[in-house]
Amino acid sequence: MEDNTEAKYYSQNDHLAAIGFQAQPGDIYYMNPPKELNTYPMYINDPKKVEKTIGSFIQYTMDGTDITEPLYRRYSDFFALHQKLIQRWPGIYIPPIPPKKISGNLDPNLIKTRMRLLNRFCLNLSNIEYLYKSEETNIFRNNIPEVANAINKLPELNYGEILARMKEAFPEYNENYDIIVGKGKFSQFESFLTINANKIKEFREMVNNASEKRETDIKQFLELIKNFTNYEKENMINYADKNENALIFNNPSFNNLSEKIIKLKQEMINPFVAFKDWLQEEELDVDAMQLAIKRIQMLIETEGKLVDKLKSIQEDIKKDGEGAVNFFKSIFKKKEEILAQLRKEEQETQEKIDNIREIIKIVGDNMENQIEVFKNDKANNYYKYLKMFAIMQRESNRVVRELWDLVKEALNQINPKEDYNDDNPPKNNDDYAPAKNYQLDQNENENEIHDEKEEEQQQQPEEKEEKEEKQDDENHEE
């Protein structure tokens, strides 16, 4: 029997039975490769339905090596954290969370998917130190009432504050980073991601169809075994004159086969589950990377608009300095006040430009590194899930083969005269008759060819003599 220890890692303990979800073999709730959840800095488990006067929701228990006391979080808390990280860390890749759902939030299958993806978010977030130790995440993982509201109340940061936290997170960066070159690279990669997203979507639809077909095949296979069992109970038992020892699937002596049939429903695996999870994660990761790149592009566009604004202010200062003060500006203010206000606005705009340019250098330099990390992660994820698919496929085949091996063993005990252990079914002697006839026919054909050659050789001297006589006659006539 093959060692299937590795395959067992891909079915996690079920925390969802209490809310009506029945775990299926092959379901993957959490981040893979397999890792004990209690080693994570933070994670969620134990989903529970909370009844409210207006609507109900699922509440998860927060746990982990960095969680010192029981905490309870719902999806809206994760959503608030994710949105605030995107807002206050512009141009930085933020690990994705599952998308919002308008309805069906209590569906057990949706909760299962959310648990897997939210735990993946927790793991990925904890691996990015500057995000994990940020003000936003600290609020999230501390015992604060109404967590989502507390996170949402965090004020929007100005460019100076954003630059300060960026420099703290990335103390070493390329101060000579070429924004123009970077902009071209990001646009090119973002275009690739757009095409890639469409291909992933098509691939996922195909895998979903294949998964549904495999589920149907599994059900049909289980139904087949059930019908074998019923056939023996209703037909074979009578053909065998009520002798249970003549049966296969219902034979009390074949305990191994009976146990295998009982466990078959739990052991049958749908390998496409792994690929469905992988492609779902791929879609979310691609969207998150596209969003980060678009935020950098927005920073670059904002910097361009600020430069245009600065030029306009400087032109107004020049005009006012030459005495061409705008009439509407000078109705309620003196020329000196107008110039002072313009110079203050000029200074503030220049400061914004300087800050945003420095931010772009930091996030641009970081993004170029992040793209390489992203590509490597995508390649490694492909290998990981392909291996997982191969393991689950092999496991699925092992389960079926073990069943039929037990059936063959049972057949050998009941009817030892026949050889049921040979993987190639025995052939009837009559099966070889056509080959023998073919050989006879071939020999007969060879004999006929031989006779024809001998006859031709006998005819050759006579034909030669006739040709010579004919030639003599022609010469004589001449």
* All structural domains of the chain with their residue ranges: 1-156, 177-428
- 3-class SS at 385? helix
Work out the angle at residue 293's Cα, subtended by the Cα atoms of residues 289 and 296, and round it to the nearest 5 degrees.
Answer: 145
Q: In which element (H, E) is residue 167 found?
A: helix 159-169
Whether residue 464 has pLDDT greater than 60 = no
Per-residue pLDDT tens over the stretch 417-456: 766 555 555 555 444 343 333 343 444 455 555 555 555 5
User: What is the DSSP code (8-state) at residue 235?
Assistant: I
d(CA 275, CA 204): 8
Placement of tokens 């509201």 in the chain? 149
Are domains 1-156 and 177-428 of this chain identical in fold?
A: no
Read off the tokens for 380.
Answer: 């490694």
- 3-class SS at 58? strand
The residue-averaged pLDDT of 192-214 equals 94
Per-residue pLDDT tens over the stretch 96-143: 999 998 777 888 888 888 988 999 999 899 999 999 999 999 999 988
Please, is 442 exposed, middle or buried when counting C-beta atoms within 10 Å of its C-beta (0-12, 13-18, 19+)?
exposed
The fold for domain 177-428 equals: Substrate Binding Domain Of Dnak; Chain:A; Domain 2 (1.20.1270)
pTM, full prediction = 0.76
Counting residues of the chain whose pLDDT is more than 70, the rounded percentage is 76
Please, is 117 exposed, middle or buried when counting C-beta atoms within 10 Å of its C-beta (0-12, 13-18, 19+)?
buried
Instruction: Report the 10 Å Cβ neighbour count for 97.
Output: 21
d(CA 10, CA 168): 39
- 3-class SS at 337? helix
Measured between alpha carbons, how far is residue 63 from residues 76, 148, 251 in Å?
18, 18, 50
The residue-averaged pLDDT of 15-25 equals 45
Read off the tokens for 392.
Answer: 């689950």
Placement of tokens 């993946």 in the chain? 120
For domain 1-156, which CATH number applies: 3.30.1520.10, 3.40.47.10, 3.40.1360.10, 2.120.10.70? 3.30.1520.10
Phi, psi of 428 (to 5 degrees): -75, 145
d(CA 110, CA 99): 11
pLDDT at 35: 53
pLDDT at 471: 57
d(CA 386, CA 267): 20
Cβ partners under 8 Å of residue 347, min gap 6: none
Comparing 460 with 154, which gets the higher pLDDT?
A: 154
Bridge partners, 72 (sequence order):
61
